[in-house]
Structure 1
Amino acid sequence: MNNHTVITISRQYGSGGRELANKIAEKLGYKLFDRQIVHLAAAQIGIDDLSEDNLRNLENNVTPLSLSFIPFFNFGSRNTGFNNDIFINEAKAIRKLASDNDCVILGRCADFILEDLPNHYSFFICANDDYREKRGKEVYDGKSLKELNEEDNKRANYYKYYTKQNWGDPKNYDMIINTSKVSLDKAADIIISYVKSNKK
């Protein structure tokens, strides 16, 4: 049985979810896995089935994407995201990464993929439009609220396509946190306290 603690973070663009995930990982001393690492891990599957040595190499040597990273390209498009083979390999990679580490995993439907794990805790991070618009200007190189919402729509479609559930639906998560109402440091402490008090 997997006894590792895994925290999955889903978030609206501009809510500070990536920065929050980084804070949680640092406070707990956990690994942080984001889209970049999951993609690289998934690429190994089918070549050598992601050997333990390769997995640990990714864990130790690949740096997560920067806090300001935002794709603004074809997220979940028919040509890239809606590819069943890619998703299946990413799901395998996520489960392998989670089986080997106490970790925080950002996005990639990880909350759904890992929902059966006993010490998996999922959180959705949101914020009001004013907060997201301000972060779009200051953190995401001047991106508008409209651009942030367009990316969120792509993410919601991707999530719906693969999970048959609604992205952001409170029923899918342990907790929803609105970062326009609480600081990111406080949000990190809330999540950590919840995880520690509910750990099996």
Structure 2
Amino acid sequence: MGRIKAVCIGRQYASGGSEIGAMVAKKLQAKCYDHELVDMAIERSGISREEFEKYEEEVISPLHSPISSLFGSKHRDLTEAVFHAEGEIICEIAEKEPTVVFVGRCADSVLRNRVRTLHVYIYSDMEKRMDNAIRKYGISQDEVEQVIKRFDKKRAFYYECNTNKVWGDKSSYDLCIDSGKLGYETTASIIAAIVRASE
């Protein structure tokens, strides 16, 4: 089957996915792309940052025209431009780098049949995620649970529209791992070990 070239991390909000992605990359002496993809896609697409960030997490794949058609033409044009810009960049990076880590943005689907990937889903229980969100993002205790649920719903919609798979369902991934129970370091070590074992 060949060596795993790309680790694609999906994650529940405040489960540590971004931090773990960076740790995996460090262990593999690879690059990690998360929010950096936004800057690169803004430059590629020519869309203003304000417009890009507004639509970036609402992207609907142009392959899903029945869903896309529910939106106005301006929204549809912007979402398709964002989807294409990020997708092109993800493919270019994956083909160029010996090993790379992507956090979010449906990289697993974008890279399907292009390079060998490891699809990972990181989750944790609500209590730990609430603690993380309060500490890391400064969200108030009264609002934190609703914020987490809102972000999870948004990510699920984005993923399912663009991949034809179910966000968070074990059948959509090669590995589902509880970062709350195992901790970030152990989680990252497991993922890195799987990649090394494919060499």
TM over 0.5: yes
Match of 2:117 in 1: 120
Give the aligned residue type for 1:92.
Answer: E
Task: Please list, as runs of the form range in 1=range in 2, the aligned pairs for 1:44-193 lying within 5 A after superposition.
Answer: 44-45=43-44, 75-76=57-58, 79=75, 83-101=79-97, 102-142=99-139, 144-193=144-193
Alpha-carbon RMSD across the aligned residues, in angstroms, is: 2.7
- Distance in 2 between the 1:112 and 1:132 partners? 26
Query: Once the two structures are aligned, what percentage of the paired residues are identical?
Result: 26
SS in 1 for 2:57: coil
Determine which structure has the larger helix proportion and give its number: 2
TM-superposed CA distance for 1:198, in Å, is: 2.8
Q: Which residue of 1 aligns with 2:67?
A: none
Q: Go from structure 1 to structure 2 and tell me whether the alpha carbon gap of 1:82 and 1:131 turns closer, same or farther (over 3 Å shift).
A: farther
Q: For residues 12-69 of structure 1, give each alpha carbon's deviation from its aligned partner in whole angstroms, at most 9, with x where no partner exists.
A: 01111111011111111111111x322333344467xxxxxxxxxxxxxxxxxxxxxx
Over 3 Å counting, the alpha-carbon distance change for 1:73 and 1:88 in structure 2 is closer
- Name the TM-score, length of structure 2 as normaliser: 0.77
Question: What TM-score results when the alignment is normalised by the length of structure 1?
Answer: 0.77
Q: Where in structure 1 are there 5+ consecutive unaligned residues?
A: 48-70
- Superposition deviation, residue 142 in structure 1: 2.3
Q: Partners in 1 of 2:103 and 2:4 — Cα distance?
A: 16
Letter in 1 for 2:27: K
* Structure 2 residue matching 1:122: 3-state secondary structure: strand
- Distance in 2, matches of 1:180 and 1:81, equals 39
